[in-house]
Amino acid sequence: MTAPIALTCGEPAGIGPELAVSAWNALRDELPFFLIGDPTHLPDGASVVEIASPVEAAGAMAQGLPVLRHDFAQAAVPGQPDATNAQGVIDVIARGVDLVQSGDASALCTLPIHKKALQDGAGFAYPGHTEYLAALADVDQVVMMLACDALKVVPTTIHIALSEVPNQLTPALLRKTIEITDAALRRDYGIADPVIAIAGLNPHAGEGGAMGREELDWINALIAEMQGEGFALKGPMSADTMFHARARQGYDAAVCMYHDQALIPIKTIGFDEGVNVTLGLPFIRTSPDHGTAFDIAGQGVANASSTIEALRQAAIMAKARAQTPKEPA
């Protein structure tokens, strides 16, 4: 039987606690998971079952949200992050990684953190969740994929100014991004021969050099080189015509050149259901595609759709990974 999914609590003053309970209500008859966190941070009246080990999660799902207890320094006040809880948030993430690397959990799903609170309270040295997970896994490069039922997109460059994109976008970076995406589609989604669409950097993919030369100077050549190595790539494609419904039928994932080129289509098509997936880690990691939402925390109005889909996506990936033949050592 596949091990349960580990769900880390994230920032306890945000909407994470209520999302965990809502996800349990939606998924208790569908897939086993457990929350790592402080049960006192959960909404009053929530059905909770404390477990001593992940192996108990499946049996506890019918009675309440399984919680692997991790005590925090302070109570959680919705909307008011407490810096003294920062170390607890960090330790929960590390504990989740330990469990998924040991096989006690089949995948890791992370609820949103508040980076400033972690920096202020514990000197958190990473830009965010993903970089910390990569450090824990001793991985040099990971790739962010946003996914919903209708579309999977990967931005090659992420949180940098648009003016910096042409400098940061290199043949080596684009090649590695494509390689990681291709490997993940095979291993974690069970797609034997994935087709990846590559967006152009410039409008109309440069239009023969009239709107930018990067496509002519090196993007076309890199795509042709990788096609010769057996990668099924399409492009470079004009980004304004590659995301409509008919175009999406022609590929399994799209690799884009910068943040908004990838995130605008995914958030237009699946705003509430979009899932953040980290590719290139030795374990499965998903998360909801939103933040802590302090302005509505504790009000019981948070939309749990993205968390529910993140857990479902993790389960799909864990099943596919378990069925993928392991490469010889």
Q: Which residues make up each annotated binding site for a divalent metal cation?
A: 159, 204, 259
Query: What are the residues facing 37 on neighbouring strands?
Result: 69
Please report, in range form, the residues annotated as the binding site for substrate.
Answer: 129-130, 267, 276, 285
* Residue spans of beta strands (DSSP E) within 64-194: 65-69, 107-110, 143-148, 151-155
Please report, in range form, the residues annotated as the binding site.
Answer: 129-130, 159, 204, 259, 267, 276, 285
- What is the DSSP pairing of strand 285-288 with strand 107-110? parallel
Cα distance between residue 186 and residue 324, in whole Å: 8
DSSP 42: S
Cα distance between residue 120 and residue 116, in whole Å: 6
- What is the DSSP pairing of strand 65-69 with strand 48-51? parallel
C-alpha to C-alpha distances, 283 to 7, 13, 33, 230, nearest whole angstrom: 14, 27, 16, 26
Closest CA to 66 of 89, 85, 49, 83: 49
Cα distance between residue 212 and residue 320, in whole Å: 40
Taking each continuous run of H as one helix and of E as one strand, the counts in the chain are 12, 12
Cα distance between residue 168 and residue 158, in whole Å: 10
Tokens of 247: 């175009």
Cα distance between residue 121 and residue 43, in whole Å: 24
What is the Cα Rg of the chain in Å? 20
Cα distance between residue 150 and residue 260, in whole Å: 18
